[in-house]
Structure 1
Amino acid sequence: MFDHLQSERNKTMAARVSQPRIEYVAVPGYFLQDETKTDASSFDCWTAPNFGLVPRPYDSDATIDPDHTRTTQWVRFAHHIRTLNRLELEREKQAAGATGNDTVLPNVPVKYRYKVLFLGRHGEGYHNAAEAKYGKEAWDNYWSLLPGDSTSYWVDSELSPKGIQQALAANKAWAQQFHQGLPVPQIFYTSPHVRCLRTAHFTFSGLQIPLSTTDPEALATLSATERQTNWGTLKLELKVKELLREVISPHTCDQRSSKTHILSLFSSPSISSSSSPPTVTDSSSEPPPIVTIDDATFAEHDPYWSPSFHETNDMVQTRLRVAFDEIFERERPPYPASVPASTSSYSSPSPASFNPDKIGDKLGPDHFNEMAQSELGLGRDFISLTMHSGAIRNTLALLGHRPFHLWSCGMIPAVVRVGYHY
């Protein structure tokens, strides 16, 4: 019976892959984690300057801070990514012979957009602690197949106290980087496993972000004092995607909780494993995150896990490809789509003379908010995904990124060029 279900699952996954409608290519040269000389076993993104962002100039610096005296590396990086995307938009218009009076975006076969992904691994769970306690061989062959032991329960494992502390440390690191101009992720995705939801909660809840976050480049015009005072609390919404889950294996920690349990996780201040011990109290005074299921077909009970099934890497990458296609399809540039009336009189210069701030001049002070970005075919640039070691390993392979192992609660940023085929 289960073999039949898996066969149907594989057929469904294959049918959902949109290839070649969307392609993903990691772009090296921006983060130390891109470089083969960076040792993943000793690298800690939370203590590395700017999460590993390479200190370097960008061609786009000339339009925001040519002398590198008014802004930070993060602000110039964010400006660079947005400039790349606006240049792509201009090239599309030029390739199609568009004029300044056109009211639709051009019909070109492929449109490219640059995205920055923050791929975070969950903090230590009780299953991780148990593997460390019993050793890998005993864990794989015996303990991982059980729901727990006399002190811990690890079916869809909760975070251990150590895992919570790891996520809280990550929270402090994000807070420090926001004060350096790190762009705030515009959307937060997470695996359906409890340990990922908890990690995302502790990592991002209560963070103070610049009120100019809809216009990150406006930070360049603020004084140091103004940067410290124009802040507000991040309103966290976690979007749960089934297919971002860990590699499915007979390990009971790979079985997810029910949909009802997932949606009720933050309705109580008590954090405990779903069967009982141990219990950790969340003393945070911040409002709980909003949790939404991002899949229309998300079942009440786990439809994929079985004590006799183990995904191959090819299977994992196929379903991750489906997840990424679903995520980035909503960022797809219009084909064609109306250009806002405020930009209809903007004439396209050559790429060499293109000043990306001209579009902003036409759109006004809110030209980087999500609506304006979407209308221009630019979409979200910075995306957070909280996942697992196996899922991230296969994601990096899918993107063509060098392998980079993450320890519990580690994070790797990656610049990705997304190609939309029409």
Structure 2
Amino acid sequence: MDHTSLPPLDHKQPHHELQPPPQSNSTWLNRKTLSILVAFILYISIYRPKFPSSHDVQNNLENSNLPLEFFDLSSLSGFFIQDEYHRDPRGFRIYHPKSSFGLIDHRSPDRWIRFKQQIELLSKNSPRHVKHKVIFIARHGQGFHNLAESKYGTPMWDCYWSEKTTDGKLVWGPDARLSSLGKAEARVAEQAWTRELANHVPLPEIFISSPLSRAIETMLITGVWKHATNHSDHTNQPHPQIVVTENLRENIGLHTCDRRRSKQSISIDFPVVEFENGFNDQDLLWTKDFQETDKQLDIRIKAALTRIFLDSKTSNLTYISITAHSGVISSLLRVLGHRPWPTETGGMIPLVVRATPKKTPTRPPNPGPSATKPACPVSF
């Protein structure tokens, strides 16, 4: 049933109902008006979906291993070719000069202006409690862990080398850094963003990063945040917000490349970043014995996305930049019901996201046990 508007009232009177005498018309009408008003208030309080507060979500995250799901989250198609199932991702280059990040309307000179108008119209024509955001989510450039996995192959990487921090030549743990190729990939992204900003691509209003160094460094080299300084969209703040968020890190556990450094160490290397409220100095999540499964990761990423829709820093923003990891991007696509789309190191995928509050928050399904280290090939 659509509860966004009241059902029509039935004005037919039963045959046995007595009409009020002429002298009591005013009293009768006042009582009828009051009854309608009370019914309307009850209807709104019972049926209208309510947008939860950030306080509700924070309390929930702090008091449960299975955070409540406040929203139905989905991606909207019709804007980017990455949304369309008939498109073949092979050979697609997100930063090609003619791709416009995959915008379907990529040939129009005013393509990004029209895109912004479409997003504004989308929000204007939606119920007040339904929210929309455009998320540009990027994958970090190549890290030394990616280089090591390519060197030894995925089976040997997962069962043996990922637990180490080095092979004597490459160092990938803890908290793998960008390789020279990874830095070059971030500079390619910088060139693409500079080009599209000249064509009026929406400038992200906030920049959010995983706490792992390779993601932060990629975001800083890409440098989109520099364009926000003194930009007309940011005249009310002295500098762009660059926020490090714990829940946007790669699958937690087993791999030393995914063990983050302390908050203090991150601050020393990247003094321009801020940290979300409650960010712990030490990595309290990583463990050498277990690793998150995809199901567990999806719960975490859904909670992270929920927080973006509700946190006071981001709830009223439309355009969001996130820099994270392949696992995070794959999880986000699953959470949103988006088609799978591979993202190369240094790549990015834009998403138009809708959040519709649930009438009653629900718990996610039981995530089951964590993963353990796979066995190595017999030949090892």
Q: 1:294 aligns with which of 267, 273, 276?
A: 276
1:119 — aligned with what? 137
Shift of 1:419: 1.4
Q: Is the 8 A contact 1:389 1:406 kept in 2?
A: yes
Q: Is the 8 A contact 1:178 1:209 kept in 2?
A: no
Q: Is the 8 A contact 1:112 1:420 kept in 2?
A: yes
> CA, structure 1 residues 210+202, in 2 after alignment: closer, same or farther (shift >3 Å)?
closer
Secondary structure at 1:413 match in 2: strand
Separation of aligned partners in 1, 2:335 and 2:346 = 21
Query: What CA deviation, in whole Å up to 9, does each residue of 1:352-407 have, x standing for no partner?
Result: xxxxxxxxxxxxxxxxxx9xxx9xxx821111111100111011000111011111
> CA, structure 1 residues 131+164, in 2 after alignment: closer, same or farther (shift >3 Å)?
same
1:24 aligns with 2:43: no
Shift of 1:23: 2.2
> CA, structure 1 residues 13+72, in 2 after alignment: closer, same or farther (shift >3 Å)?
farther
Secondary structure at 1:33 match in 2: helix
Q: Is the 8 A contact 2:100 2:106 kept in 1?
A: no
Q: 1:201 aligns with which of 216, 220, 226?
A: 220
> CA, structure 1 residues 10+247, in 2 after alignment: closer, same or farther (shift >3 Å)?
farther
Q: Is the 8 A contact 1:240 1:294 kept in 2?
A: yes
1:308 — aligned with what? 289
Separation of aligned partners in 1, 2:197 and 2:330 = 27
Alignment of 1:53-202 (within 5 A): 53-55=103-105, 72-88=110-126, 92=128, 111-155=129-173, 156-202=175-221
> For residue 112 of structure 1, what is the amino acid of its counterpart?
V
Please provide the CA RMSD for this pair: 2.7
Secondary structure at 1:22 match in 2: strand
Larger RCO: 1 or 2 (CA < 8 Å, sep 6+): 1
> For residue 391 of structure 1, what is the amino acid of its counterpart?
V
Secondary structure at 2:353 match in 1: strand
1:34 — aligned with what? 83
Query: What CA deviation, in whole Å up to 9, does each residue of 1:308-337 have, x standing for no partner?
Result: 111111110111111112111126xxxxxx
Shift of 1:141: 1.9
Shift of 1:13: 3.1
Q: Is the 8 A contact 2:80 2:102 kept in 1?
A: yes
Sequence identity of aligned pairs in percent? Answer: 34
Separation of aligned partners in 2, 1:379 and 1:72 = 25
Secondary structure at 1:196 match in 2: helix
Separation of aligned partners in 2, 1:311 and 1:246 = 9
Separation of aligned partners in 2, 1:148 and 1:293 = 29
Q: Is the 8 A contact 1:171 1:207 kept in 2?
A: no
Shift of 1:210: 9.8
Q: Which of the two has higher C-alpha Rg?
A: 2
1:351 — aligned with what? none
Separation of aligned partners in 2, 1:56 and 1:168 = 22
Q: How many residues align?
A: 295
Q: Is the 8 A contact 2:205 2:233 kept in 1?
A: no
> For residue 36 of structure 1, what is the amino acid of its counterpart?
Y
Shift of 1:194: 0.5
Unmatched 5+ stretches in structure 2: 1-60, 360-380
> For residue 82 of structure 2, what is the amino acid of its counterpart?
Q
Secondary structure at 2:351 match in 1: strand
Q: Under a length normalisation based on structure 1, what TM-score does the superposition of the two structures give?
A: 0.65
Unmatched 5+ stretches in structure 1: 1-8, 58-67, 93-110, 216-233, 268-289, 332-369
Shift of 1:50: 1.0
1:407 aligns with 2:363: no
